[in-house]
Chain A
């Protein structure tokens, strides 16, 4: 729950889903001298930044600037790529993520939405109920409630409520992406990572999802990697600019867009001179 008087300016109290009593300025994620390399190729180096609780933290930058590698290092999604090496520290909930003995518990607290929608070949219901089921929720009523709540929050409920048991992978691209978001909400994450979620989604759906994210900010912290500069401007309180594997600059989004930058390249990118 958001403490009254927080600098987030959220006046509506969040549902009792988030842990209560945390000061809103608490730091959720602290990244120190993070580096990622794949074999010889260095994808990311020397990244230092902090993400505060209940903010949307934008990450912008051209292709191949290390944005996705950054996200992958946060919840240790490097299992599939054995050549991926991570150096430095990522403190989540005060603890280096690589020191978590139970990586599965870590991942349950960090939700991820990938660039391309992944509707698992299960029913819509089971797509959303999968994570709670894995976590041990067995009661039908409880699952029903979670499924409905998550689908509602992902702005998908009205479209699918009459066919919850048809295949999730048969939905349209935009619907599948919202299904993916509903699925990542079903595990009640503290931190939600979105990796260029609007690549395969039409503009109308993108706007709907953006509205959803604004709502969700009351309950969780969101890191939004985007290739749309204006999307970062619409959503993020603070934004980091990545370029060629380096974090060039972190600042208040409005300040960055107003031209208050420390590095000329940030300004050039934001104003569309390259990238």
Chain B
């Protein structure tokens, strides 16, 4: 490379480190540092969370109580209990409802954008969807508080509108744009020849989509759903604002709940560093970290599965 572009010189030393060589080395080092630091940060975060939480796990941690008790009373004077079952149920119920909202919405939106529109319309819609994905979560939380809350109270005639339903809808709307975007990418990755072949056989637009495109894109769609779940699971601010933030094992969508993430956000600033409460919150952090890691890993493996097949 360098030899080809070097100006012809009468007495050129054939083996000399020129500018190209140094630039190449510098880029190599820079890229290496960048790449390694990403790994270092992830590992560092995990180590930090684990170190902070470890004192609790090895100390007053009671496995059964932590995972199976719905009582989260870290500030009790006499008998503090640290059970995350209710918090976990809160997160799970909200996430589940969010997916019920988001999956149909986002798949339909992706089919519309990817299969039924073309050219300029498609590009504009795609940009709009990605714009929706960029709305800050506190704005969604505000929408939950000020719009959906009174709506639920009026429509369903219940006392409180900050509950599973509210935060589920909010989280669903939050997760839908990113899921739409990924699902649409999955549709776009399906070769045009598949559609042509199916159309040539007299398949209608819907038959092409349903029989050929969706099966071909199914791993990408699954990845979209998993990433949506990850997004909903880890969301904090919107859930904190819209869920009611009261510890409950929900029995209906009108129960207020509290999420794992929201608990950490709300309580961490109030605790003394190094106290049991502080460490218990970090243990919740470990649980969250492991769950989101598992979800992302699954999504990644699913996507990789698609690639290998092609």
Contact = CB atoms under 8 A, between A and B. Distances in A.
Contacts of B2: none
B202 interface: yes
Contacts of B192: 80
B294 interface: no
The interface residues of chain B, by DSSP majority, are classed as helix
Interface residues of A, number: 30
Given A121-B215, A122-B215, A131 B201 contact: yes
B207 A134 contact: yes
Q: Which of B200, B211, B215 has the most CB of A within 10 A?
A: B200
B193 interface: yes
B199 interface: yes
Contact of B201 (A121, A122, A130): A130
Contact of B196 (A80, A109, A183, A184): A80
A77 B203 CA distance: 12
A104 B204 contact: yes
B202 A114 contact: no
Contacts of A79: 199
Contact of B199 (A82, A107, A109, A133): A107
B197 A121 contact: no
B118 interface: yes
Contacts of B197: 114, 118, 120, 180, 183
A121 B214 CA distance: 11
Interface string B185-213: 00000011111111111111001000110
Given A107-B201, A118-B196, A135-B202, 19 more contacts: A77-B196, A80-B192, A80-B195, A80-B199, A107-B200, A108-B201, A109-B202, A111-B200, A114-B193, A114-B196, A114-B197, A121-B212, A121-B215, A121-B309, A130-B201, A131-B201, A180-B197, A186-B201, A187-B201
Closest 4 CB pairs of A and B: A108-B202, A107-B202, A112-B200, A118-B197
Interface of B: 118-119, 191-204, 207, 211-212, 215-216, 309
Interface of A: 75, 77, 79-80, 82, 104-112, 114, 116, 118, 120-122, 130-131, 133-135, 180, 183-184, 186-187
14 contacts: A77-B196, A77-B199, A77-B200, A104-B203, A105-B202, A107-B202, A108-B201, A118-B191, A118-B196, A121-B309, A122-B215, A131-B201, A134-B201, A134-B207
